[in-house]
Amino acid sequence: MGTPAGSPAGSTADAVGVLALQGAFHAHELILRRLGVLARQVRTPDDLAAVTALVMPGGESTTMSRLLGTSGLFAPLTERIAAGLPVFGTCAGMILLATEVLDGRPDQRSFAALPITVRRNGFGRQIDSFETDLAVSGLDRPFHGVFIRAPRIVEVAPEVEVLAQYDGEAVLVRHGRVMAASFHPELGGDTRVHATFLRTFLDPIPQEN
């Protein structure tokens, strides 16, 4: 098997990473393990070098942006994404991947890997959290989406594929080797959105022994 796209030369990357600096990374890790996937928490550049794909969880996007810098992860992760590392960002993870972030802090950084414009907390604050069933492209039945301080996609470039909408607005999108959701697919125990990400971008999918 050749080196996976987005892996450093000579890499032995053999796991799906979950960015574990802040936010709901444990829930993503549990979903991946329910799928039988070998999952690894990513906190350092060495951790990043050992993964063949990455899930970026929800949390607080400005805090995550700062921690990506202090951990030394921002530069190598930028390079890996540009080289084709498959990435799935949810909620704050989607904000970090977007090319434009409205209402972000002046010092907030993003990877500009997904040609969308997002508004932080666009669906409202914590008190405005809600749940709804979503029709997701490729799934045979609705997926129950949980929206918590969810970012709103306010503009989508023509080349971006919209996989799910809520009230006519994109909430799950894919472009190149990047996928992102406004909602939290790791909550509720349904593994199908994560499985879609893995099937789309990884062959073979790293498995636990």
pLDDT tens-place string over residues 183-204: 999 998 899 999 999 999 998 8
Give the number of other Cβ atoms within 10 Å of residue 208's Cβ.
11
Please identify which of the residues 28, 131, 144, 186 carries the catalytic annotation: 186
- What percent of the chain is predicted at pLDDT more than 70? 88
Please indicate whether residue 26 is annotated as part of the active site.
Answer: no
Please identify which of the residues 28, 29, 184, 194 carries the catalytic annotation: 184
Please indicate whether residue 91 is annotated as part of the active site.
Answer: yes
User: What span, in angstroms and rounded, lies between the C-alpha atoms of 35 and 193?
Assistant: 11
Reply yes or no on whether the pLDDT at 11 is more than 60: no
Round the average pLDDT of the chain to a whole number and report it.
90
Please identify which of the residues 26, 28, 79, 91 carries the catalytic annotation: 91
Please indicate whether residue 161 is annotated as part of the active site.
Answer: no
- The per-residue pLDDT for 162 is 98
Q: What is the pLDDT of residues 141-180, one digit of tens each?
A: 999 999 988 899 999 999 999 999 999 999 999 999 999 9
One-letter identity of residue 59: G
- The per-residue pLDDT for 7 is 66
Q: Which residue has the tokens 């697919």?
A: 185
Contacts of 127 (CB under 8 A, 6+ apart): none
Task: Tell me the pTM.
Answer: 0.91
In 63-176, DSSP assigns E strands to 87-90, 98-102, 114-119, 130-134, 143-147, 152-156, 161-166, 169-175
What is the set of domains in the chain, with CATH numbers?
15-201 (3.40.50.880)
